Chains A and B, each alone.
Chain A
């Protein structure tokens, strides 16, 4: 009762990073509140994943294991989550802000009439005083997130409703297993008692999901391509420079949405957060939604022919030039000095 429950996502039989990151964060929140961290694991044939959840601090893993739950569907997953939350009354519930979390969490929060804050970039525990009533609250979850296209940072609280729910994107929190796994136990959820026929109104006809190949989070050098690169074909320049320097390739949301680069390369508020020692931004305008995901890089080099582009304001080296000319020059120069 009154604990923190983290919804666990799985992918191809493995635990998703975002869930492990959230368990790590939940541990520090739980320590402030003097409560336990628990996990909710839904799927088919998933009991083998439980020990790793103990390693990340879950004292209880609530398991709903049923062949019908192999792939995510809103209605059965929601039914199980809602039933568990009603029974266990967590004070905080955390979900990854993935396509699953952003589908499931609002459905659950609506049913429980609780508050939900999406895409939090930070979570904290603190006090609150209601401006209108003067009522004081202690130890609320501060749900901090960008809004208004990333131009403001808002701190949201749910003073009266439970659970306090938040979704957080992958890569925002850091994952860290415990030295010694938690002394945890399993609570087996009786899915047969909860699920009804109408929960299966949606049928999955086909799935064509690639295995996760690209992960740019840990790269030390990143070449970051923006909308200014112009096309998927021209992104070859970005990849060429990356190959020359032994770097990984990132992209802005604008470039990804336009099909120039894969989703997994997206850097920014709605992509991954990266902290390389060097990032070279090519044709990136520097909108806040993007820079929020890379402005902690140690050295930022910006190549953008528009001198007014905001990226130049956060760059350490600002090249006002055409990336189509600059990149080949960079490659040639590197090769020359490498000899």
Chain B
């Protein structure tokens, strides 16, 4: 971004509060034979839990804002079960400054509408200048939560963002990657941006950040018997080690808008896709095998 000397002082002193919406998801991208049941369906429990890939792209865009406007704060907001705190910690390791885990049994069974309601309640409480999230999660694949949160907050949305190319007090400029080209748009702030996989990958873990935040944890993690003896330093002494947990009571709102009750869409049926092996004719890549295949195809007029 070009900064003239006149404006430099004004721009450099601006500090933005950025909330990154992130989700912990099962790694559905490459379901190998280890995660398959003998019947040929996917064994969900066997999939590792990861930071949703496009949310990582979003985190990188947020960290770049912090690079250019030091003093800005990047906060990770995630909704999930207790173990989703892992991705807040991962965010810390990359350079985030804070995080909130939105966790409550009353959120369970939520479709995108109920999820976006819960998240928008939390975001309103955090009051950021900019909200970034990945375009979509690799388990639901809907790309709906981002726009629905923006609607509930009554702020503009920019989807399919590839890069934030400009930022001032009250406007943000974004390059979008569309099906057959690019579009550059600018919006007022606050604004919600969903980031596409073609955006820059997230920077790796920062050693200093890892050292600092290694023992950051939520109340539940601290109390978990499995973690007994892990946390030697009290989080009261080092408050930055506390990862906040918020429940329905913390974010308020009409309880009927949460969870299953707040979900207009219902799953009627789920069918597992079963890999049905076909009787394949097996060949090597040798000259002879390839030649016989090609001549067979030509003889049958499939080609030529």
Contact = CB atoms under 8 A, between A and B. Distances in A.
Interface in B248-279: 263-273, 275-278
Interface string B79-121: 0000000000000000000000000000000011100100000
B281 A212 contact: no
Interface in B159-181: 159-160, 173, 176, 178-181
B265 A278 contact: no
15 contacts: A103-B157, A116-B113, A148-B44, A152-B271, A152-B272, A202-B187, A202-B188, A204-B185, A301-B293, A310-B275, A316-B281, A318-B283, A330-B290, A334-B303, A338-B298
Find the residue from A206, A277, A278, A334 having the highest chain B CB count within 10 A. A334
Interface in A133-182: 142-143, 146-161
B186 A116 contact: no
B286 to A, nearest CB: 8
Contacts of A153: 270-271, 273
B148 interface: yes
A119 B295 contact: no
A115 interface: yes
B12 to A, nearest CB: 24
B144 A320 contact: no
A149 to B, nearest CB: 3
Nearest to A111: B151
Contacts, number: 250
B176 to A, nearest CB: 8
Given A154-B267, A209-B183, A148 B282 contact: no
A224 B159 CA distance: 29
A203 B186 contact: yes
Find the residue from B33, B145, B290 having the highest chain A CB count within 10 A. B290
B265 A202 contact: no
A201 B302 contact: no
Nearest to B178: A99
Interface residues of B, number: 81
B285 A152 contact: no
Closest 10 CB pairs of A and B: A321-B285, A149-B28, A115-B264, A161-B264, A209-B181, A115-B265, A110-B151, A110-B148, A106-B147, A106-B144
Contacts of A278: 297, 302-303
Given A318-B281, A318-B282, A74 B272 contact: no
A48 B159 CA distance: 30
B158 A116 contact: no
Given A151-B273, A287-B30, A156 B265 contact: yes
Given A110-B147, A312-B280, A316-B280, A152 B179 contact: no
B184 interface: yes
B156 A74 contact: yes
B234 interface: no
A63 interface: no
A294 B263 CA distance: 34
Contacts of A333: 287, 290-291, 294-295
B185 A313 contact: no
B9 interface: no
Given A205-B184, A321-B284, A330-B294, 14 more contacts: A110-B116, A117-B142, A146-B141, A151-B31, A202-B186, A204-B184, A205-B173, A207-B181, A313-B275, A319-B289, A329-B287, A333-B290, A334-B304, A338-B298
B13 interface: no
Contacts of A150: 28, 273
Contacts of A111: 151
A118 interface: yes
Contacts of B179: 98-99, 263-264
A328 B33 CA distance: 31
Nearest to B294: A333
B143 interface: yes
Contact of B266 (A130, A206, A312): A130
A114 B264 contact: yes
Given A115-B113, A156-B268, A287-B30, A317 B275 contact: no
Contacts of B280: 302, 312-313, 315-318
Contacts of B28: 148-151
Interface in A244-290: 245, 257, 263-264, 270, 277-278, 285, 287-288
B269 A303 contact: no
Contacts of A105: 144
Contacts of B290: 319, 326, 329-330, 333
Nearest to A73: B185
B157 A107 contact: yes
Contacts of A316: 278, 280-281
Contacts of B139: 147-149
A302 B280 CA distance: 10
Nearest to B152: A110
A106 B197 contact: no
Nearest to A71: B183
Contact of B187 (A110, A201, A211): A201
B138 interface: yes
A329 B286 CA distance: 8
